[in-house]
Structure 1
């Protein structure tokens, strides 16, 4: 795992709202920012900003579907992070 990717993943996961958004996308893939905001105490614009940070870390991907932008969880960076942490703990 590269240092910049690790920093982005930890930064993205460091916020409780971003963790909540990620959990919601794991449970129900392909939601829009509007759909996510409808169930949370945050505006659509706030959700979009959090999704952008998750996307920069590679934890979320977006696809255009008509006029909607649908977001999905991308597990790759999280797997790399878990592997990296596991490797560290084996050294103890």
Structure 2
């Protein structure tokens, strides 16, 4: 059971990372991710990009639920909550 939750958590983190990269490519004004991230930090929209990146977790979550892999879906949910907490921390620190 713990292994299944861990697998779901890792899949959730990877999906969030891919979503963030996709958001950087779509909304960034440069092909260099470092420049786009620095711009996002200076213009205070990094948290918005992180939130958009976490949207891929929604698809993964429902995919796991459809396949009756509830523990993996729980891991994805934990990863999403972790993204939420880190987004809120970044938002309030700026």
| Superposition TM-score, scaled by structure 2 size | 0.33
Q: Greater relative contact order (Cα 8 A, min sep 6): structure 1 or 2?
A: 2
The structure where strand makes up a greater share of residues is: 1
The structure where helix makes up a greater share of residues is: 2
| Superposition TM-score, scaled by structure 1 size | 0.33
